Amino acid sequence: MYERNIGTLILRVLVWLAAFASLGAAQGSSSAITTALTELPKCALQCLAASIKASPCAISDVTCQCTNAELVSSAELCVMTSCTVEQSLIAKNVTQTMCGAPVRDKTTEYNIVSCTLMGFACAFVLIRLGYKKFFTRTDLGLDDWFILLTLLVCVPSAVINVDLLTANGLGKDIWTLKPDEIGDFAFAFFIITILYFTEVFVLKLSLLFFYLRIFPGKTIRRVILGTVAFDVLFGIGFIVTALLQCRPISYNWTNWRGEGGGQCIDISAVAWANAAVSIALDLWMLAIPLSQLRELKLHWKKKIGVAMMFCVGTFVTVVSAIRLASLVEFRESTNLTWDYWGVSLWSTVEITVGIICACMPSMRLILVRIAPKVFDVSMVRASRYYYAKRASAYPGKWTDPSTQPSEASKNKSAASRQSWMPPNVRTSWRISQSPHDKVFVDGVLFSKVSPSKLEEEDQGRLVPMEDMDPSKYGTDVQISGGASSRNSTPDPGSTSKI
């Protein structure tokens, strides 16, 4: 008796749908509705008929059926348990079309953000490397090579974003897509996840190697090297986890069908763990340079300037936190292409903005060279004055060989060369006879550095400098390229190298 009533109700629903299609034809919209009617699975039609019967809505009341939350929820639950995933998506698309639901599409917005930020990231990296390679005599360091590696990994990511993710439905509702498009989207998302994990840890390596270049102190270098080791393990661990999260690997892009044949770990938990560790590591990496500020012999205003330079990286941490919030929709999503839009967008913003922030110190040097009166700082001028003071202590050895003084004048100037030193500093000087731009002082090699070279490398070292006047020390003083340290208690962070 129950089956007969359901059969009669299904027949009535079909008649109503046909009438609804005829009404749509009169309004010029029958094409999509008629096509949808022919695609509606039988299992979904049975669920729809049963839900209408159990609801207060009349068979002809379209508005009630589309807006009654209890009816819609009951029908969707029935469809999910009675139909396959593909049939459920078809039924969802048919009912959304019949109810006149708006078609959501955010693919263009995503493409604009992705391409724009990628363009800026490429420009910053190329300017940074080009300036160092062609306009200065500074060799590329590990931080430069790793920022270039980050960019090289980002290029295929940008291509996948446009040609695979958005082209296969990112930013659209999954029920509006064909099964092949959903499969291609899942495959692209699997690849982009691995690339993202790679970009995160390589970008952090670039910043850490930058710290190694500017902080020569032994203690801080040990801390940085330990952080480098942790970051490498962090990156490799999550890359391997992403590769092996499903068995077989192909199940990463076929499990959406719900047909079995594979097994996966909790992918959402992996994403949350990666985001949490990454944010914690960002905060730790921010604390490393800030911990050195109080040791710097700079005016408090300059300390604020240095702190602000490093705090630019906090913007990346903020973006990472926003991305973490977007992972809420990532967990157990049934509308992958729509729900994954947020995490995909913020992942792109996080990496590209991170690249731009990592290039900021180099951009400052370029601006100083272009407009020194506007962007130059007193620290550069102080360094130039200090080095000039040292250069004046060696007359004739810092100029053309033809201007070298005679032996008598050398002896005469010996006292003047030592006049600025404390009485108990050893005065055995050995003047180098081969390159004329270098001099040995108690076995310590001094090299001539031009003001332009100092400007280009004014951030080559950022160290706690002792008072530059050696006369204030009561013990033997060893000069090492512009910084003084007591021989009795050497401090690895108190010397600087030319």
| Residue numbering of the annotated binding site | 61
To which residue do tokens 């509702």 refer? 173
Count of beta carbons in the 10 Å neighbourhood of residue 102: 6
DSSP β-bridge partners for residue 440:
430, 445
> β-pairing, 444-447 with 263-264?
unpaired
C-alpha to C-alpha distance for 358 and 310, rounded to whole angstroms:
9
Give the length of the chain. 498
> β-pairing, 263-264 with 246-247?
antiparallel
Task: State the burial class of residue 120 (Cβ atoms within 10 Å of its Cβ: 0-12, 13-18, 19+).
Answer: middle
C-alpha to C-alpha distance for 400 and 227, rounded to whole angstroms:
47
Give me the amino acid identity at 275.
A
In the three-class reduction of DSSP (H, G, I as helix; E, B as strand; rest coil), residue 313 is classed as: coil
In the three-class reduction of DSSP (H, G, I as helix; E, B as strand; rest coil), residue 438 is classed as: strand
CA-nearest of 198, 185, 190, 194 to 249 is 190
Contact in structure between 243 and 195 (CB atoms under 8 Å): no
Binding residues for heme: 61
Q: Can you point out the beta strands (E) in 324-437?
A: 429-430
| 290 conformational bin, left if phi > 0, alpha if psi -120 to 50, beta if neither | alpha
C-alpha to C-alpha distance for 457 and 498, rounded to whole angstroms:
9
Contact in structure between 97 and 36 (CB atoms under 8 Å): yes
Q: What DSSP string runs through 159-220?
A: HHIIIIIGGGTTTB-GGGS-HHHHHHHHHHHHHHHHHHHHHHHHHHHHHHHHHHHH---HHH
Q: What DSSP string runs through 22-58?
A: HHHHHTT-HHHHHHHHHH--HHHHHHHHHHHHTSS--
In the three-class reduction of DSSP (H, G, I as helix; E, B as strand; rest coil), residue 92 is classed as: helix
DSSP letter at 297 equals -
Q: How far apart are the first and last CA of the chain?
A: 96
